[in-house]
Amino acid sequence: MSDLQLYLCEFFGTAMLVGMGLSVVASISLRKSGFHGSGGLMAALGWGSAMTAVAVIVGPFSGAHVNPAFTLGFWMTGNIEGRLVPGYLVAQLLGASFGALIMWFLFKDHLDQEGDAGAILGAFATGPSIRNPIRNVASELVATYCLMILVLSLGHSQPAGGVQFIYVWVALSGGVMAFAGLTGYAINPARDLMPRLLHMVLPIKGKGSSDWSYAWVPIVGPFLGAALAALTHIALFAPLVG
């Protein structure tokens, strides 16, 4: 495949993940939605299903990183050439923007009639249930670490017959259940940064602040978590499998 085709796969995959994932959150949180109040289980199943669909569609081609932190982890473990990293990151950022635009377009009437600025922002970006920067970063670090180490482990566990996609679904859904109550389970800098930026610039009635004072947390935490998972894999698991 050409480099451009790889980048297009990452763009498509990130757009699909963010578009579906944010739509799940909007369905739960916006009061005019028919699924309003469905709760965390729906969020877990929805995000897990979105990531699994993306892995099935673009995983065989680009690896379905769809996450700048994961691209860092894959680069550290030798699973992607360094020359491809900048293109992957740009594709992911643009894909996340496009996915957020899809959600905004589909839910614009609901967003404009919401009235709760917190719910509107929550449809785009993550936020802590209790604001404590150190613990918030730690939550995003641990959440990203758990998913990254699972994905890296697929290489030595070698599940057959598409079972790896079930692993991805279980890991992501389980992560939402375990950690989303703390910080919203961003685990993906592109998933939070670009929708937050669009929340700031798009015309939405009564949207309020985009909470940029928190925006560094879902960037720093996931990058640290992915890097630590990569180091764990290099130090512990890679020697075991030769």
- Per-residue pLDDT band for 242 (boundaries 50, 70, 90) equals low
- Closest listed residue to residue 17, CA positions, set 141, 105, 82, 102: 102
- Counting Cα atoms < 13 Å in the Cβ hemisphere of 73 gives 33
Q: What is the pLDDT of residue 149?
A: 95
AA letter at 70: F
* pTM attached to this predicted model: 0.96
17-46 residue pLDDT tens: 999 999 999 999 999 999 998 989 999 999
**CA–CA distance, 20 with 63 (Å, rounded to integer):** 19
For residue 58, what are the CA distances in angstroms to 64, 99, 131, 212?
Answer: 6, 16, 36, 32
Q: Please give the pLDDT value at position 166.
A: 86
Domains of the chain: 3-241 (1.20.1080.10)
What is the torsional sign of CA 195, 191, 173, 59?
positive
Helix 40-62 and helix 163-183: axis angle, to 10°? 130
Q: What's the whole-number mean pLDDT along residues 7-19?
A: 98
- pLDDT one-digit tens code per residue, 148-205: 999 999 877 667 667 888 888 888 999 999 999 999 999 999 999 999 999 999 999 9
Average the pLDDT over each of 12-16, 119-123, 158-162, 207-211 and give the range with the smallest value: 158-162
Number of H helices, E strands in the chain: 10, 0
